[in-house]
Amino acid sequence: MIRQSLKFRKTITVVCVIVLVVFLILILNENKSKEIENDDANYEIEDRNFLKVPKKVFIQKEQNMDFNNANDNTQKELQEAKARIEQLEKKLAILEGRIPQKYPEVSYLGHKERKRILVTGGAGFVGSHLVDVLMVQGHEVIVVDNFFTGRKRNIEHWFGHRNFEMIHHDIVNPLYVEADEIYHLASPASPPHYMQNPVKTIKTNTLGTINMLGLARRVGAKILIASTSEVYGDPMVHPQPESYWGHVNPIGPRACYDEGKRVAETLAYSYAKQENVTVRVARIFNTYGPRMHVSDGRVVSNFVMQALQNLTITVYGNGKQTRSFCYVSDLVDGLLALMASTYSLPYGGDGRRGRRRPAEAATRHRCVFTRGLTENYRLFQRRVISEDI
């Protein structure tokens, strides 16, 4: 009985253990099924979110793509518009070139009367006024200038005219053109300009003059050399006749210009004697008028600028020194008359033989006249005259 009871207990124990194990397995399976359901639910939610989010992103991407395409199209349209505008501008430029420009009234000359005239320094103060008169007379004019002191705006009103030609060239280098007459005016003429580069000034008045005289010899042209009253240096005779040889300083600060012009005259008459070149020499005095440089450094421009700015007018020395003044239009008339004449010696207008000389005035009187015009009543400032000035 005892053994049977023990067996029964063992059996019950085993059964209980098995039941417990089965129960635990069931519990574990339920937990796993719940987790799986939760996971499935989460997955469904994520899938839904995933399905929702890409739609928004896709819409945004589509909008961005549309915006980018719109920008690209706009840029293409702008580029096409720019290209069309450039084409239109080119066409307008061509059409404007075909439209005759308004020039000053020009006389008509026949083939025999019309001359081809070369003007060196034609963009400068005196040269530009000479070009205006020659163009109005109906001649063909060739202007040569390196624009050291010349300015394009002095002659821009002739650009494009059939009788006008502009050559940017330095006459220190040879020039090969055809001409009937040559006006050689190329050279800086005011002290600040020709003292800026003395060697260049000498080259222009020597090598440049040689090149122009050689050109005149080759083409058989008549040439007028623009000289200066500075060839007299610091004269001891007033007024100076052409027979006066001068009182010069060959190594002074202004010698680069003075001696350069003296050599230019010597070269001109050497070519006349040796090569039979027809030469004219004009000794130009103080010239004033429109298109003068503001910083010309000479008496008229200095007085006018100081008076206009209400500054003290500067008078060098005691103010009793005299200067011969000539208006630019009068000078141009004189150059044209000298070129057309048979007078071959240097001409400076000394008042003899009925010739007209430039107006001569004392420096102080000129200063008073300038102050009166500008209503400037400030005092004079006197400065000591420096060497060779």
For 347, the token pair is: 């001409």
Catalytic annotation present for 269: no
Torsion angle defined by CA atoms of residues 44, 46, 48 and 53, in that order, rounded to the nearest 10 degrees: -170
Q: What is the distance between the alpha carbons of residues 88 and 105, in angstroms, rounded to a whole number?
A: 32
Contact by Cβ (8 Å): 155, 195:
no
Task: Round to whole Å and give the CA distance between 148 and 146.
Answer: 6
Q: How far, in Å, CA of 48 to CA of 68, rounded?
A: 30
Phi-psi sector, 100: left (phi>0), alpha (psi -120 to 50), beta: beta
Chain centre to alpha carbon of residue 82? 28
Measured from the Cβ of residue 203, the count of other Cβ atoms closer than 10 Å reads 17
Angle between helices 363-374 and 299-308 (to 10 degrees): 30
DSSP helix/strand/coil, 384: coil
* Residue appearing with tokens 């429109």: 290
The kind and range of the H/E element at 56 are helix 2-98
Of 183, 194, 232, 257, the catalytic one is 257
Structural tokens at position 299:
């008496």
Residue linked to tokens 């005892």:
2
What is the SS3 string spanning 217-283? HHHCCEEEEEEEHHHHECCCCCCCCCCCCCECCCCCCCHHHHHHHHHHHHHHHHHHHHHCCCEEEEE
Whether residue 142 contacts residue 119, with contact meaning beta carbons closer than 8 Å, is answered with yes
**Residues designated catalytic:** 257
